[in-house]
């Protein structure tokens, strides 16, 4: 499959008003071998994270980002890490790490008021005790929790 810049990547950058574009986004990793990742949604998610984080760091460089990712969020941590490497490549944020707090979904019986882990291979339909249908709680997290960065004067070319 040929690797080439996709329209969606253009749009992601072009869709922002240039005056509002954080400095750190003003590069395009055209030659990045990981460009195909911009076709998966983890890439747009990585860009969203970068976008938000950049509004906090000013001229500094990111060191680490802590995220909460739920198992129902449709985000695969390893792909997200890979996408993060790609979107930060060549910038001052290159080498920063994503720390991901994985949030499993849990099963809840509203009748017994009991919440428990879901079974390994799947989901249980009914409560062991009262045989009523179980509900699902949590697991939808996709939150940017915390960033750490190095504040540096004149760090930018």
Residues near 138 by beta carbon (within 8 Å), at least 6 away in sequence: 70, 103, 104, 105, 106
Q: Are 118 and 134 in contact (CB under 8 A)?
A: no
Residues 116-135 that bind other proteins (CB under 8 A): 122-125, 133-135
CB of 90 to other proteins, least distance (A): 21
Could you say which residues in the range 32-91 bind other proteins, by CB under 8 A? 38-41, 44-45, 48-49, 51-53, 56, 60, 63, 67, 71-75
Query: 77-88 vs 41-57: helix axis angle to the nearest 10?
Result: 60
Question: What φ, ψ does residue 98 adopt, rounded to 5°?
Answer: -100, 120
Task: For the CB of residue 140, give the shortest distance to other proteins in the complex, in Å.
Answer: 8
Query: Which of 30, 111, 136, 156 touches other proteins (CB under 8 A)?
Result: 136
Measured from the CB atom, is 87 or 134 closer to other proteins? 134
């Amino acid at each position: 499959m040929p690797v080439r810049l996709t329209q969606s990547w253009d749009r992601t950058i072009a869709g922002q008003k240039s005056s509002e574009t954080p400095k750190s986004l003003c590069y395009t990793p055209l030659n990045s071998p990981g460009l195909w990742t911009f076709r998966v949604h983890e890439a747009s998610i990585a860009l969203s994270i970068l976008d938000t984080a950049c509004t906090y760091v000013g001229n500094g460089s990111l060191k680490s980002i802590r995220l909460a990712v739920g198992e129902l969020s449709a985000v695969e941590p390893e792909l997200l890490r890979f996408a993060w490497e790609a979107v930060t490549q060549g910038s001052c944020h290159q080498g920063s790490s994503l720390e991901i707090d994985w949030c499993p979904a849990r099963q809840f019986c509203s009748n017994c008021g009991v919440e428990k882990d879901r079974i390994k291979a799947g989901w249980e339909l009914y409560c062991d005790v009262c045989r009523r249908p179980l509900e699902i709680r949590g697991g939808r997290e996709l939150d940017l929790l915390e960033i750490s960065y190095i504040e540096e004067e004149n760090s930018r070319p």
